[in-house]
C-alpha cells in the first residue's frame, strides 16, 4: 500500500516526512500487508517536506539537518543508532558532536536514494551511535553556514531490552507477535530511521492505543481492535527500548 503510506506524509512533521518518504522508497516493492492508515480526507501531497527544501542545485543553499530533533536511548549494552541527514551542503561538509564521548558519527549512504516519485535524495547521511544518556548536539558546517540537530538520549534500565525483545517475538493474550508484521520489510519499517523523531511516550501510545505517531488510528484488516496490543508496562517500556536498538535499514 505504497500510496496510503505516501498520503500519511501530509500529516507528519517535515523531518519525519523526509525519513518516511525515504522508507516508502526503500520498501516500495516489499510491502505485502493489506493494512493501512485510513486518512482519505487528507489532501494528497506526495513528498511533502522534500518539496519545501531547496535542492542542492537550487543555489539557495539553506544548510539543513534532518531531523533537527530526535530521540534515542542508552542501556550500556546494546547499540542505539540514530540516522541523520544533511541537505544543501558542499564538499567541505563537516559534522561534529559537542561531546565526543557522547556519540560516534559515521558517514553512510542510502542503498537506494531514488524516491518513489523518481527524484533522488541528495542528503548526506550519517549514523550517530550514542554512547551515553543526555543531550547530544550535532553541528554541520559547510561554506561558512551552520545547522544543528539535537538528540535526546534516555537512560534505559538494562532489563528493558530483553523484556522488549521477548514481547516483540512472542504473542500475548491472543495477539500475534510483532514480528508477524514487522520484520524484513514485510510491514512498515520502525527502526530508528522511522521512529527517531517520536519520543518514548508517542511510541508507547502506538502500541497501547493503536494511534500512530502522526495521530491517526492504525487500521488492520481482520483485527477489530486495530493496532492496540496486550502488553504489560514492562513489556511496553521494553518494546520502546528494543525498537530504538534496531539497526537502521536501507543504508550501506
3-state helix, strand, coil in the chain (%, to 5): 25, 25, 50
73 and 82 Cβ atoms separated by less than 8 Å: no
Span from 69-77, 103-111, 147-155, 224-232 in contact with ligand HEC (CB under 6 A):
224-232
How many C-beta atoms surround the C-beta of residue 57 within 10 A?
8
* Minimum CB distance to ligand HEC, residue 202 (Å): 8
Q: Which of 160, 191, 185 is nearest to 70 (CA)?
A: 191
Asked if residue 7 binds ligand HEC (CB under 6 A), the reply is no
Contacts of 132 (CB under 8 A, 6+ apart): 74, 101, 102, 153
Site residue total, ligand HEC (CB under 6 A)? 31
Evaluate the CA torsion angle 54, 83, 237, 153 in order and state its sign: negative
Give the x-and-dash track for 24-53 against ligand HEC (CB under 6 A). Answer: ---------x-xxx----------------
Span from 85-93, 123-131, 142-150, 188-196 in contact with ligand HEC (CB under 6 A):
188-196
As given in the structure block, the three cell numbers for residue 12 are 507528519
* Minimum CB distance to ligand HEC, residue 113 (Å): 22
Q: Give the strands of the sheet with 145-155, arranged side by side.
A: 69-74, 145-155, 134-142, 94-97
Paired residues of 177 in beta bridges: none
Q: Which is nearer to ligand HEC, 71 or 140 (CB)?
A: 71
State which H helix or E strand residue 153 sits in. Answer: strand 145-155
Alpha helices in the chain (DSSP H): 2-8, 14-26, 160-169, 192-195, 200-209, 233-244
Q: Which is nearer to ligand HEC, 105 or 181 (CB)?
A: 181
Q: Which of 124, 182, 244, 249 binds ligand HEC (CB under 6 A)?
A: 182
Nearest position to ligand HEC, beta carbon: 178
Q: Which is nearer to ligand HEC, 95 or 207 (CB)?
A: 207
Q: Which of 76, 100, 158, 176 binds ligand HEC (CB under 6 A)?
A: 176
Q: Which of 24, 63, 239, 246 binds ligand HEC (CB under 6 A)?
A: 239
- How far, in Å, CA of 205 to CA of 138, rounded? 28
**Considering only residues 128-167, where is the footprint of ligand HEC by CB under 6 A?**
167
Vertex 124 angle, CA 121 and 128, to 5°? 125
Give the x-and-dash track for 196-215 against ligand HEC (CB under 6 A). Answer: -------x--xx----xxx-
Asked if residue 244 binds ligand HEC (CB under 6 A), the reply is no
Using CB under 6 A as the criterion, which residues of the chain lie in contact with ligand HEC when the complex forms?
Answer: 5, 8, 33, 35-37, 167, 176, 178, 180-182, 187-188, 190, 194-195, 203, 206-207, 212-214, 218, 220, 223, 227, 229, 231, 239, 243
Amino acid at each position: 500500500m505504497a500510496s496510503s503510506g505516501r498520503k500519511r506524509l501530509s500529516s507528519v512533521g517535515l523531518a519525519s516526512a523526509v525519513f518516511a518518504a525515504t522508507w516508502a522508497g526503500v520498501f516500495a516493492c516489499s510491502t505485502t500487508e493489506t493494512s493501512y492508515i485510513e486518512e482519505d480526507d487528507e489532501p494528497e501531497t506526495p513528498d511533502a517536506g522534500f518539496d519545501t527544501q531547496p535542492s542542492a542545485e537550487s543555489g539557495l543553499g539553506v544548510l539543513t539537518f534532518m531531523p533537527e530533533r530526535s530521540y534515542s536511548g542508552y542501556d550500556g549494552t546494546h547499540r542505539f543508532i540514530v540516522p541523520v541527514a544533511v541537505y544543501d551542503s558542499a564538499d567541505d561538509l563537516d559534522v561534529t558532536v559537542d561531546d565526543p564521548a557522547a556519540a560516534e558519527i559515521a558517514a553512510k549512504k542510502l542503498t537506494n536514494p531514488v524516491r518513489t516519485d523518481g527524484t533522488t535524495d541528495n542528503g548526506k547521511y550519517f549514523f550517530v551511535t550514542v554512547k551515553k544518556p543526555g543531550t547530544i548536539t550535532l553541528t554541520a558546517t559547510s561554506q561558512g553556514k551552520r545547522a544543528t540537530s539535537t538528540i535526546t538520549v534516555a537512560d534505559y534500565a538494562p532489563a528493558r531490552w530483553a523484556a522488549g525483545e521477548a514481547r516483540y517475538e512472542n504473542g500475548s493474550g491472543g495477539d500475534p507477535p510483532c514480528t508477524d508484521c514487522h520484520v524484513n520489510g514485510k510491514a512498515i519499517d520502525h527502526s530508528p530511521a522511522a521512529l527517531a523523531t517520536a519520543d518514548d511516550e508517542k511510541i508507547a501510545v502506538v502500541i497501547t492505543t493503536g494511534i500512530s505517531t502522526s495521530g491517526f488510528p492504525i487500521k488492520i484488516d481482520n483485527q477489530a481492535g486495530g493496532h492496540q496490543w496486550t502488553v504489560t508496562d514492562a513489556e511496553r517500556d521494553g518494546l520502546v527500548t528494543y525498537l530504538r536498538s534496531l539497526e537502521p535499514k536501507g543504508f550501506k
